[in-house]
Structure 1
């Protein structure tokens, strides 16, 4: 039986483990944290990732965790709409809408898909060799495939490609918080001068709020809920009310880093990089977790159907590079602060949506229309 070692029990690592086990691999997942307590609060699983999750039998479980939504779109701080659509329109075009759910719920669903004993918590990987050796604090594991899913600051990536530029600060810091009892809210993202605030209803009466601001890296001390109220407390309802209802200790703040130059490959020897270890991106397209899920199921398909890791790189590198660059371009648009630049950006967005909304929607076809590979025969 072929053996794989997965480094990291985030979304990409757990998806890879489930996909490989489903194809008959013996899989060990090494996670340095002592418990599965995922960093983050909410996330979006778009149509492309839902199709990928279908291949490991988790898609319908995730769909069942979605909240019912009506309209969604882009707004100004005064509440006026720049662009809006409905969940039904997205579903009609792509066969699925976007599932918004707690990160912990997705991690739990993926963990439940694994065989007992697969996950080794509290296990720190010290080194991984392209020949297939993985050294932990307690032992050396040997594998036919090593999956590096060790995040934005991936030590494995740095070892495999030591001369490649490290992820760079994208110019924005982000906040995330889950607010209980938020009531019936409308899904939307609001763009101001250098700032963004998103409101997304989740199942169970929760509301997921996220925000970004254009500030220097490493400036995140103090009460973060108070900081959000200072930045967004005068924006349209229900933003101030949601922030007032949030627990200060629940607000997460992280500087955003992304890879500005694609790696030369997403593998070396027997090691494959997936997710943030391979292509850390800004959150503006909502594709970070989605691309990690895609990576995982494509990798499992390639290595289980006679392909090598060069075929995995060929299948994934160009696509993820395009999506990373596209997300970064949206991030740059959100960072605009000058009144004239902001007015021009908003006017262009509103006019394009009014007169060419089909073109804007079609621009996402290459991202959301992706389908996972299928075995021949």
Structure 2
């Protein structure tokens, strides 16, 4: 089958690798001149690796990640350092941390030479017709996969767009080399309308993120100074992490999710994947994981002996049901974590302190479950 994929992010590349390994003729279109990940670190839970293993990519991704989080105390804290929820070492869910650029490079290395066409703007055709147009030239495929992000143009072309929503907060990200006192504890610290997260990466590096409630499009001016003013009085090692990160290494993005999920992930011979299908806030750490689940589910369903329509309908049924829960859960978690008023912050902190550590671990484990889809065969009813 000839398959065109719009977008060379994590979801698009995982889909390309999985489909290509099954013998499909795959072309990936990427608008940037040099395909590469924009971002710093990320975490992948057991569900992502179950999906990767199912399409033969698990070891490729494990090779560029690490699992130090499982050996560290983690949870949520107050800016003073007081723990709200504390998970002892070895008690948390299975999770690996990676640098986005290294994951992206590993996935690119898994593809045949010439698979990715960079520096081109690919346009999907209305109605899900399996045609991609680049610079006035159109190419027909058997299937087009749109992995073109939260502001997916393909989603609009296929009549599936319900808009995006500003979540109410902006986020900075950075990576710095570890010092010995950094590598003791990890997790998130919650203040009033502000959060700071610490995640260890391979090779003695740390990924951190800082989140502030802010008006959409705010110009912060001297951003390092803003971060030090807002977080410089928080517990160690937060000030040291900020000091160790050069201004050139800072990334900041306002946070968006889909205002509503599309009525379908499929239009004709077009399929939405990853953020194009279900962009969610990062508050459950499942954005990349869900894109990977999408990619693996699609690849596995296309291995079946059934008609393409049946496989696409099953993909739509499985992925919308799964993503809807996490999209809603991520939005709710963000509202809780970004509580700003004194009353809301106090109520949130009481609630968090009352939660047994085991409850938080069990909730995370439920999120991190993925079930391999069953193949769809001709005449099979659902």
Instruction: Place the TM-score, normalised by the shorter chain, in its bin.
Output: over 0.9
Q: In structure 2, what is the equivalent of residue 334 of structure 1?
A: 337
Alignment of 1:103 onto 2:100: yes
Change (3 A) 1:104 1:52: same
Rounded Cα–Cα distance in structure 2 between residues aligned with 1:113 and 1:8: 16
- Aligned pairs for 1:8-23 (under 5 A) are 8-23=7-22
Deviation string for 1:144-175 (max 9, x for gaps)? 1101000011111112226x431100001111
Rounded Cα–Cα distance in structure 1 between residues aligned with 2:341 and 2:282: 23
Rounded Cα–Cα distance in structure 1 between residues aligned with 2:189 and 2:230: 13
Q: In structure 2, what is the equivalent of residue 324 of structure 1?
A: 327
Task: Tell me the CA shift for residue 311 of structure 1.
Answer: 1.2
Rounded Cα–Cα distance in structure 1 between residues aligned with 2:212 and 2:220: 15
Count of residues paired in the alignment? 367
Rounded Cα–Cα distance in structure 1 between residues aligned with 2:11 and 2:109: 15
Alignment of 1:154 onto 2:152: yes
Alignment of 1:222 onto 2:221: yes
Deviation string for 1:117-161 (max 9, x for gaps)? 111111211333412111011521111110100001111111222
- Aligned pairs for 1:182-221 (under 5 A) are 182-183=179-180, 184-185=182-183, 186-221=185-220
Rounded Cα–Cα distance in structure 2 between residues aligned with 1:128 and 1:250: 38
Rounded Cα–Cα distance in structure 1 between residues aligned with 2:266 and 2:275: 14
Structure 2: runs of 5+ lacking an equivalent = 378-382
Structure 1: runs of 5+ lacking an equivalent = 92-96
Instruction: Find the partner of 2:90 among 61, 66, 88.
Output: 88
Instruction: Find the partner of 1:345 among 348, 366, 379.
Output: 348
Deviation string for 1:203-252 (max 9, x for gaps)? 11211010111110001342322221111111000000110110101111
Is the 1:225–1:246 Cα contact (8 Å) retained in structure 2?
no
Task: Tell me the CA shift for residue 179 of structure 1.
Answer: 1.2
Is the 1:45–1:290 Cα contact (8 Å) retained in structure 2?
yes
Give the TM-score normalised by the residue count of structure 1.
0.93
Task: Tell me the CA shift for residue 260 of structure 1.
Answer: 3.1
Is the 1:71–1:85 Cα contact (8 Å) retained in structure 2?
yes
Deviation string for 1:18-45 (max 9, x for gaps)? 1111221100000010112211111111
Runs of 4+ in 1 over 4 A off after TM superposition: 374-377
Rounded Cα–Cα distance in structure 2 between residues aligned with 1:257 and 1:76: 25
Rounded Cα–Cα distance in structure 1 between residues aligned with 2:89 and 2:143: 40
- Aligned pairs for 1:228-307 (under 5 A) are 228-305=227-304, 306=306, 307=310
Rounded Cα–Cα distance in structure 2 between residues aligned with 1:227 and 1:67: 32
Rounded Cα–Cα distance in structure 1 between residues aligned with 2:89 and 2:57: 21
Which stretch shifts more, 5-14 or 363-372? 363-372
